[in-house]
Amino acid sequence: MAEVEHKAGIADEIEIDLGDVLNKLVKHSRTILTATSICFVAALIYSFVALPVYSATTRILVEAKPPKIVKVEDVVLPDYTDRINFFNSQVEILKSRTVAEIVLADLGKYEPWDRRGKRVEKLEPITHGEIVDFLLKNVKIAPVRMTQVIKINVEDPDAALAARIANNWARAYVLFSSQDQLLQRRSELEADLAQQLKYVKEKHPVIVGLKNEITAINEKIATEQKTDKLGQSTTWGNDITNVKVLERAEVPLKPARPRKLLNVVLALVLGSFGGIGLAFLFESLDQTLKSAADLEAYLKLSCLAPVPIHKAEKEHPEAIPEFVTVWSRHSLMAEAFRSVRTGIIYSNPDLSKKTFLVTSATPSEGKTTVAINLAMVFVQAEEKVLLVDTDLRNPRFHSIFEVDRANGVIDLLAFDNADIHSLIRKTGVNGLDLLTCGEVPPNPSELLGSQKMEALIQKLSPLYDRIIFDTPPILAATDAIVLSTKVDSVVLVVKAGATHRHAVQRCVHALRAVNAHIIGAVFNMVDPDQRGPYYYYYHYGRNAASKGKSRSGKKDLLNTSSAEN
């Protein structure tokens, strides 16, 4: 049973990994598409601009002499060493400059591809050796495996010229081999003649026969040397060289390259793989937190809920994200904040942790928006809530709720006889009160960490079900760290795909160093239209949510009843 569960766990992990890979590919789909498009266009341009090259092939059979029989420990075995050496030698002869010189002599004039069709005065001088090298570069000699057949392949922009060179290469090889064999035979006859003259006179029939054979060989050599054009020669092989032409090169009708369809297909494949490689490279370089799994993996924090990025609605283009839970109570963003509320409630069901602060690692992560909307959803759950602006570096509550900033937290901390009830402001939302920051002091951290702040929280606690403090980003100031020791818990706001994980790790380490209780993190500003881990989470019920959007305005907000069960 345990083994079955273990295998099931492994299968789940594999499925999650595959899903993560797919999400990354979808996220970087534009990169992949761009890379593929660039390769496709480049291949298309090359295929239509590149010089067409034709390929012609001649096949020849080079027959070696029968193998010698050797005796090894009374076992008779054929000796193939001579045959292999002979065949390899013929391949090297076909690759030699000697054969190339014979072919060039027949062609009369041969120009490298980039020099053709240009005026002579515009061409740089080129040596005969360079021409031979260029010709050899475009002639491929390839033995066919496990046979005595050799392929002579020639490439050239001129289809007829490619076939002519391939055929003449075979003729040149036959001519060279034939002359070589004749010269070797003549040497053997001359040596035999010299040996016989030691014993018999010149008129002896043996001597006469040897001289006649030598004369015939000389005439044969002279005849072959007088052959001006290989293309006009009928020499395709003979019994002397054991060379037979199996297949003559025909003038090709279609170019061998560029192969347009193959180039396009390869470009699409290579472009796709290149784009995928870039996608994973960007992912490896991206150190931001992109999912709830990242929060748990790198920070050991639970995600209270992913909150989608705010997008202006057609019905209320003036709507701001701070009041989304009232503007549009059935929207995806409002539903996400209710999920955050649920996570906070179930993190301390006995309601002993009623005071908590909302903070983030860096600015512009949406902590103030989260704090206000959390207050709204707690009010909608019939709780009495107080919002306290303790972001003494950059206070915003007074401007959002359109009230005067003066007479706030700083006044309560500075004056012992200050009346708490007179400084707390009504927001127009039943159950939601506001305490502004007051005038910004020169020493905010000292005030927030003072015993007066602790006493103030104790005075406010009996009056409300929830007290939510908005604080500066942790990396910008130590205010949040100091205040975290005075409240019950902390909610950390992390902007999806923007907050560097090392920055958040520093914040979490700093909070835990002072024994602050972190409830969890709000994964903020997730793009619901990007196919990722939250795509289906947000798109489920979107139509129903859009039908239930509230049509109340900001003025209605200040007079609305906040009760919602």
Do residues 434 and 425 make contact, with C-beta atoms less than 8 angstroms apart? yes
Residues 532, 483 share a domain: yes
The pLDDT confidence band at residue 318, using thresholds 50, 70 and 90, is low
Tell me, yes or no, whether 280 and 324 share the same domain: no
Tell me the pTM: 0.59
561 phi and psi angles, rounded to 5 deg: -85, 130
SS3 90: helix
Residue 275 lies in a domain: yes
Backbone angles phi, psi at 391, to 5 degrees: -85, 80
| Sequence-distant (≥ 6) Cβ neighbours of residue 161 within 8 angstroms | none
- The per-residue pLDDT for range 438-478, each reduced to its tens digit, is 887 777 788 888 899 999 999 999 999 999 999 999 998 88
Q: How far apart are CA 133 and CA 524, in angstroms?
A: 68
Q: Are residues 229 and 261 in the same domain?
A: no
Between CA 532 and CA 538 the distance in angstroms is 10
Question: 272 exposed, middle or buried (CB, 10 Å; 0-12, 13-18, 19+)?
Answer: middle
Give pLDDT tens digits for 87-114: 888 899 999 998 999 899 888 889 998 8
Whether the CB-CB separation of 51 and 113 falls below 8 Å is answered with: yes
In a shared domain, residues 275 and 396: no
Within a domain: 207: yes
Tens digit of pLDDT for each residue in 334-358? 899 999 999 888 876 665 668 999 9
- Does some domain include residue 28? no
The verdict on residue 25 lying in a domain is: no
Q: Are residues 128 and 97 part of one domain?
A: yes
| pLDDT per position as a tens digit, 3-28 | 544 444 444 444 445 767 787 788 78
Nearest alpha-carbon partner for 332 in 98, 536, 565, 111: 536
Q: Which residues does 506 contact at the CB level (< 8 Å), separation at least 6?
A: 361, 474, 475
pLDDT band at 69 (very low <50, low <70, confident <90, very high): very low
Q: Are residues 492 and 540 in the same domain?
A: yes
- Domain final residue pick, 194, 219, 247: 247
* Tokens matching residue 29: 């789909």
> 157 and 54 in contact (C-beta within 8 Å)?
yes
Do 207 and 262 belong to one domain? no
With 0-12 / 13-18 / 19 or more C-beta atoms within 10 angstroms meaning exposed / middle / buried, residue 39 is buried
pLDDT of 556 > 80? The answer is no
Does the residue 7 lie in any domain? no
Confidence (pLDDT) at 240: 54
State the pairing for strand pair 355-360/489-495: parallel
CA dihedral 120→121→123→124, nearest 10 degrees, is 130
Tokens of 510: 């700093």
Q: Tokens 């927001």 belong to which residue?
A: 427
Helix (H, G, I), strand (E, B) or coil at 241: coil
Q: Is residue 4 part of a domain?
A: no
Residue 80 sits in the same domain as residue 138: yes
Q: How confident is the model at residue 164, as a pLDDT? A: 94
Can you give the pLDDT at residue 92? 92
Same domain, 413 and 521: yes
pLDDT surpasses 70 at 65: no
User: What confidence tens digit (pLDDT) does each residue in 347-400 have?
Assistant: 766 656 689 999 999 998 999 999 999 999 999 999 999 999 999 888 999 999
DSSP lists the bridge partners of residue 523 as 306, 494
Residues 76 and 181 in one domain: yes
pLDDT at residue 368 in the model: 94
pLDDT band at 269 (very low <50, low <70, confident <90, very high): very high
In percent, the amount of the chain with pLDDT more than 70 equals: 81
Task: Domain count for the chain, please give it.
Answer: 3
- pLDDT of 561 > 60? The answer is no
Domain region containing 195: 54-247
The segment with the largest mean pLDDT, out of 13-27, 29-43, 228-242, 435-449, is 29-43
Output the CA torsion sign for 186, 187, 189, 194: positive
Is residue 15 situated within a structural domain?
no
My answer on whether 199 and 342 are in the same domain is no
User: Reading across the β-sheet that carries 243-247, which strands appear in turn?
Assistant: 139-143, 149-156, 54-62, 243-247
| pLDDT, greater one: 221 or 326 | 326
Which H, E and C letters describe 395-460, residue by residue? Answer: CCHHHHCCCCCCCCHHHHHHCCCCCHHHHCEECCCCCEEEECCCCCCCCHHHHHCCHHHHHHHHHH
Handedness of CA 299, 304, 305, 307 (dihedral sign): negative
Q: Are residues 296 and 222 in the same domain?
A: no
In a domain, 30, yes or no: no
